[in-house]
C-alpha cells in the first residue's frame, strides 16, 4: 500500500520554488552543492531523478524516496516515473530548467526502469558508478527532510539548473503534414551529410524503435563500458535486453553480421537487428545470413538497409496512425540527438529541416 503524490500540488510547488530560486533569497548551500555535484555525472538522467525525489518529498513527506515504482513493497511507495514525466519534465521545458537528460522520459532509461528500489546492488555502468554512489547519498539525505526542507532543496535545485548549459529549443512543426517519402529524403541526407561518428544514425535508430517499444536504451557511441552487444537495446520487464541492435554508418560484411550474432549468443540474447546506413553498402545475402544466425547461434536476425527501409519498417510496426507516427518520429529524433550529445549545430540543423519540411 503506497502513498499518493498530488500532481497539481507538485506543479504549484514547482512554480513557488522557481519564484524563490529567481529571487534574492538565501538558499541552502548543501542543496546547491549537491545539485552541482549530481550535474557532473556522466549519466545525464541523474539530474532529473534527483529533481523528482526532491519534488516528491516536498509534495508528500510520507514518500519513500528509494522506491522506484508505485508497486514497490513499501508503505511510502509512489510513482516517481509519472511524477517526473508528467510534472517535472514539462515544467522544466517550459521554464528552461536543464534536467541533464533532454529526452521527455528520463526515468525510462537505465537503470531506473529495471528495479523496484534504489540501492547499491543495482547494475550500473562502470563510468557512472561513483556518481551513482554519490546520488544514493542524496537519496538518503532527502529521506531525512521535512516537506519544508525538501521545498528549499527544490528551490536550490531550480536555481542551479537555471544556470546550467543552455536548453535546446523545442522542435517546431508547421501546419503542413509530414509525408513519409519526403521525410525519408530529408533524413537520409541529414544522416549521411555528417554522420558525427555514427551519432546521427544511432539517434535515428533509437527514435525509430521508440515508435514501438517503451524501454529503448541508446548508449554513447563506441562506449567501451557497455555490457550488452549493439548500440541500441530494447528491454522488457527483465534486467536483460530482449533485443539488441547494431547500427553501422560504414560498409558491413556478412562476417560482421555473424560476429554480432555470436556476441548475442554468448549473452543469451535471442533477437538481433543490424541497421546498415552507409550509402555505399553492398547488397548482402540476407536470407542466407538469417538462416545462419538461427542455425549457428539461435538468434532471430533482422537486417535493415538504408534510411528508407528503417523508417518504413518502423512506421509499419507502430500501432498509431501514420500521421501521428511521423510526428512522433521527428520529435524523438530531436530528443535522441540531444541525448547522445550530437553537436548543437546538428540538432539545430535537424530542427530546421523539419520546420522547413512542414512549412513552419
Render pLDDT for 145-201 as a digit per residue (tens, 0 to 9). 999 999 999 999 999 998 775 445 566 677 788 899 999 999 999 999 999 999 999
> Residues of 34-45 as b/e, b for ≥16 C-beta within 10 angstroms?
bbebbbebebbb
Q: What is the mean pLDDT of residues 278-288?
A: 95
Q: How far apart are the first and last CA of the chain?
A: 48
C-alpha cell at 141: 539525505
Give the torsion through C-alpha atoms of 342, 348, 353, 359, to 10 deg. 150
What pLDDT does 87 receive? 95
What pLDDT does 146 receive? 97
User: What percent of the chain is predicted at pLDDT more than 70?
Assistant: 92
Cell 558525427, located at residue? 196
Give the CB-side neighbour count of residue 241, counting CA atoms within 13 A: 27
The mean pLDDT of the chain is 89
User: Hey, is 243 helix, strand or coil?
Assistant: strand
C-alpha cell at 40: 557532473
- Packed helices 286-297 and 254-266: angle between N→C axes, nearest 10 degrees: 30
- How far apart are alpha carbons 102 and 47 in whole angstroms? 11
- Summarize pLDDT for 264-274 with one digit per residue, the tens: 999 999 999 99
Contact 244, 233 (CB under 8 A): yes
- How far apart are alpha carbons 291 and 299 in whole angstroms? 9
- How far apart are alpha carbons 125 and 111 in whole angstroms? 9
Cell 527483465, located at residue? 238
Residue 131 pLDDT > 50, yes or no?
yes
- Summarize pLDDT for 86-125 with one digit per residue, the tens: 999 999 988 889 888 666 677 766 678 778 899 999 888 7
Q: What is the mean pLDDT of residues 332-348?
A: 87
What pLDDT does 101 receive? 67
Alpha helices in the chain (DSSP H): 7-21, 29-39, 45-59, 80-83, 89-95, 129-143, 147-162, 180-193, 199-210, 254-266, 286-297, 306-317, 322-339, 344-357
Q: Which residue has the higher pLDDT, 328 or 35?
A: 35
H or E element, residue 83: helix 80-83
Cell 555514427, located at residue? 198
pTM of whole model > 0.75? no
Residues 6+ positions from 152 with CB-CB distance below 8 Å: 27, 28, 31
Question: Phi, psi (5° rounding) for residue 34?
Answer: -65, -40
Q: For residue 206, what are the CA distances in angstroms to 85, 216, 230, 291, 302? A: 19, 7, 12, 26, 15
**Judging by DSSP bridges, how do beta strands 241-248 and 216-218 pair with one another?**
unpaired
- How far apart are alpha carbons 127 and 113 in whole angstroms? 19
What pLDDT does 155 receive? 97
What pLDDT does 147 receive? 97
- How far apart are alpha carbons 176 and 11 in whole angstroms? 33
What pLDDT does 287 receive? 96
What pLDDT does 305 receive? 97
Residue 40 pLDDT > 70, yes or no?
yes
Question: Phi, psi (5° rounding) for residue 44?
Answer: -70, -20
Sheet containing 271-276: order of strands: 216-218, 232-235, 241-248, 271-276, 300-305
Q: Which residue has the higher pLDDT, 226 or 17?
A: 17
Amino acid at each position: 500500500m503506497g502513498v499518493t503524490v498530488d500532481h497539481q500540488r507538485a506543479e504549484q510547488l514547482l512554480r513557488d520554488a522557481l519564484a524563490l530560486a529567481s529571487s534574492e533569497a538565501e538558499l541552502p548551500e548543501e542543496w546547491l552543492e549537491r545539485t552541482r555535484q549530481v550535474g557532473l555525472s556522466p549519466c545525464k538522467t541523474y539530474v532529473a531523478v534527483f529533481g523528482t525525489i526532491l519534488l516528491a518529498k516536498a509534495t508528500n513527506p510520507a514518500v519513500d524516496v528509494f522506491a522506484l515504482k508505485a508497486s514497490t513493497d513499501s508503505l511510502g511507495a509512489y510513482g516517481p516515473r509519472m511524477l517526473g514525466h508528467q510534472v517535472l519534465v514539462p515544467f522544466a521545458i517550459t521554464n528552461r530548467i536543464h534536467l541533464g537528460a533532454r529526452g521527455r522520459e528520463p526515468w525510462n532509461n537505465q537503470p531506473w526502469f529495471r528495479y523496484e528500489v534504489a540501492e547499491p546492488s543495482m547494475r550500473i555502468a562502470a563510468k557512472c558508478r561513483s556518481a551513482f554512489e554519490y546520488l544514493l547519498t542524496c537519496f538518503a539525505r532527502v529521506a531525512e527532510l521535512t516537506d519544508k526542507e525538501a521545498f528549499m532543496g527544490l528551490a536550490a535545485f531550480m536555481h542551479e539548473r537555471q544556470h546550467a548549459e543552455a536548453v535546446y529549443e523545442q522542435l517546431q512543426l508547421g501546419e503542413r503534414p509530414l509525408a513519409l517519402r519526403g521525410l525519408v529524403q530529408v533524413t537520409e541526407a541529414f544522416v549521411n551529410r555528417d554522420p558525427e561518428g555514427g551519432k546521427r544514425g544511432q539517434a535515428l535508430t533509437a527514435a525509430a524503435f521508440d515508435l514501438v517499444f517503451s524501454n529503448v536504451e541508446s548508449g554513447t557511441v563506441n562506449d567501451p563500458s557497455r555490457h550488452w552487444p549493439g548500440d541500441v537495446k530494447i528491454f522488457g520487464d527483465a534486467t536483460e535486453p530482449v533485443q539488441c541492435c547494431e547500427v553501422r554508418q560504414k560498409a558491413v560484411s556478412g562476417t560482421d553480421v555473424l560476429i554480432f550474432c555470436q556476441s548475442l549468443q554468448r549473452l543469451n540474447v535471442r533477437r538481433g537487428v543490424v541497421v546498415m546506413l552507409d550509402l555505399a553498402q553492398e547488397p548482402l545475402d540476407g536470407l542466407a545470413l538469417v538462416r545462419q544466425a538461427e542455425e549457428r547461434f539461435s538468434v532471430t536476425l533482422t537486417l535493415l538497409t538504408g534510411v528508407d527501409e528503417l523508417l518504413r519498417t518502423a512506421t509499419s510496426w507502430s500501432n498509431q496512425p501514420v500521421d501521428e507516427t511521423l510526428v512522433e518520429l521527428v520529435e524523438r529524433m530531436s530528443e535522441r540527438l540531444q541525448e547522445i550529445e550530437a553537436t548543437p549545430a546538428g540538432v539545430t540543423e535537424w530542427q530546421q529541416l523539419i520546420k522547413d519540411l512542414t512549412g513552419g
